[in-house]
């Protein structure tokens, strides 16, 4: 029996992008019709904390700005505060009170958040069509020069570390709120790897599944102890995480403690010589989220089956607290869904969908 709520199919605005701010207290949406007094498309939007500043880039069939132009919009004054122009399209933006980070296809540009913006550094990257970059209080992480590598920069000293995270190109990266753990996923989408940023050692390998998948989003809980993952399987997975401060030097952080032992295969995971899928760490809970399968209006791409280029972002995760998550998606049916972690009568933790709501009017 199908007990799912009927999704409203009325035609309305089209959402080209959606992103949470740094503490997931708000999310911003770029529409094909823009926002405020705009009547043209916004393809990328990033909000600075809970401030009145947003970084925006044009997009859609009728972009408000050229796609190689970044505008820092002051919503309180209803005007552009800063503008930056580049030779190629802006694919990703990260903001802090002191820095503006801009991702292009093959480079990362770092500016001081000042008027006019002062360029601090430029780093070469491998092809980065998703505009991947993570900006923490002390660290900046983004794809390295070789596919699958992560380049990590200490903001205060400029020291550079290279992490050979995967053998195939990166699909998603995330920094924990305390900046001490980095999570990565590749185009394969089967394994999530976590690394201690202090010494770049691998802490754990977390298995999402055995089949190829496109990872949409990685997000750490506020306490840095849980990691949420979404993919094109329309599934949200929640993993327990070891932490650098909690792992003894004499044991493997990926598999040494009882807390990190996978619970999917039970005793089979401890039998030697069996395939590694039996001993890998699996999620302790999962849930279905609504995904859709739309191609963004005006997209220059004709994406293959498992690519998301040209598709509006889906499965973007934001933690409200250690028991509550929101998952947002763009497109014609722009919506957010709320999930909660609950202890079940079976002694296990479960991820339950508590409700959903459209953020686009009909």
Do the Cβ atoms of 203 and 196 come closer than 8 Å? yes
Beta bridge partners of 207: 191, 282
Tell me what pLDDT residue 219 has.
97
How far apart CA 203 and CA 242 sit, in angstroms, is: 7
Q: Is the peptide bond before 96 cis (omega within 30 degrees of 0)?
A: no
Structural element, H or E, at residue 94 = strand 92-95
Measure Cα distances from 204 to 168, 201, 294 in Å: 18, 9, 34
Tell me what pLDDT residue 37 has.
53
Tell me what pLDDT residue 319 has.
97
Tell me what pLDDT residue 307 has.
41
Give buried/exposed letters for 41-51 (b at 16+ CB in 10 A, else e): bbbbbbbbeee
The dihedral through the CA atoms of 67, 24, 337, 188 has a sign that is positive
Tell me what pLDDT residue 352 has.
97
Is residue 354 exposed (0-12), middle (13-18) or buried (19+ Cβ within 10 Å)? exposed
Tell me what pLDDT residue 353 has.
96
Tell me what pLDDT residue 299 has.
55
The pTM (predicted TM-score) of the whole model is 0.85
Measure Cα distances from 188 to 131, 218, 240, 274, 282 in Å: 18, 15, 21, 22, 16
As a whole number of Å, the end-to-end CA separation of the chain is 28
How far apart CA 54 and CA 291 sit, in angstroms, is: 26
Left if phi > 0, otherwise alpha if psi is -120 to 50, otherwise beta: which for 77?
alpha
List per-residue pLDDT tens for the chain, 362 residues long. Answer: 444 444 344 455 788 888 998 888 898 888 887 655 566 788 888 999 888 999 999 888 788 889 999 999 998 998 999 999 999 999 999 999 999 999 999 999 999 999 999 999 999 999 999 999 999 999 999 999 999 999 999 999 999 999 999 999 999 999 999 999 999 999 999 999 999 999 999 999 999 988 999 999 999 999 999 999 999 999 999 999 976 665 443 333 343 343 444 455 444 445 454 444 444 789 999 999 998 656 655 554 434 333 444 567 899 999 999 999 999 998 888 899 999 999 999 999 999 999 999 987 65
Q: Name the 3-class secondary structure at 246.
A: helix
Count CB neighbours of 22 within 10 A: 18
Tallying the residues shown for the chain, one arrives at: 362
> Which domains are delineated in the chain?
13-124 (2.130.10.10), 137-362 (2.130.10.10)
Q: Name the 3-class secondary structure at 345.
A: coil
Tell me what pLDDT residue 310 has.
55
Tell me what pLDDT residue 63 has.
82
């Amino acid at each position: 029996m199908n007990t799912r709520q009927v999704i409203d199919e009325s035609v309305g605005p089209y959402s080209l992008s959606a992103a949470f701010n740094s503490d997931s207290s708000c999310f911003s949406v770029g529409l094909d019709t823009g926002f405020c007094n705009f009547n043209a498309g916004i393809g990328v939007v990033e909000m600075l904390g809970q401030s009145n500043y947003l970084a925006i880039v044009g997009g859609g069939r009728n972009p408000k700005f050229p796609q190689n132009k970044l505008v820092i919009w002051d919503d309180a004054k209803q005007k552009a505060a800063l503008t930056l122009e580049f030779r190629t399209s802006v694919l990703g933006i990260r903001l802090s009170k002191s820095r503006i980070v801009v991702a292009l296809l093959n480079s990362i540009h770092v500016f001081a958040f000042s008027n006019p913006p002062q360029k601090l550094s430029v780093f070469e990257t491998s092809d980065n069509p998703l505009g991947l970059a993570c900006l923490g209080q002390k660290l900046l992480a983004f794809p390295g020069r070789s596919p699958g590598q992560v380049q990590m920069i200490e903001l205060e000293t400029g020291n550079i570390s290279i992490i050979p995270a995967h053998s195939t190109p990166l699909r998603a990266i995330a920094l924990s709120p305390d900046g001490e753990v980095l999570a990565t996923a590749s185009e394969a989408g089967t394994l999530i790897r976590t690394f201690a940023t202090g010494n770049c050692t691998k802490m754990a390998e977390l298995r999402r599944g055995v089949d190829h998948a496109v990872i949409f989003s990685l997000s750490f809980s506020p306490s840095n102890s849980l990691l949420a993952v979404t993919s094109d399987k329309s599934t949200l997975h929640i993993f327990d995480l070891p932490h650098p401060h909690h792992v003894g030097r004499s044991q493997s952080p990926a598999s040494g403690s009882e807390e990190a032992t996978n619970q999917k295969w039970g005793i089979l995971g401890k039998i030697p010589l069996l395939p590694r899928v039996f001993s890998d760490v699996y999620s302790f809970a999962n849930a279905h989220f609504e995904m859709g399968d739309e191609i963004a209006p005006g997209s220059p791409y004709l994406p293959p089956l498992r690519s998301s280029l040209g598709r509006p972002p889906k499965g973007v995760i934001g933690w409200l607290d250690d028991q509550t998550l929101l998952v947002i998606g763009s497109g014609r049916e722009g919506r957010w869904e709320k999930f909660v972690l609950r202890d079940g009568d079976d002694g296990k933790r479960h991820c339950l969908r508590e409700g959903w709501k459209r953020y686009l009017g009909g």
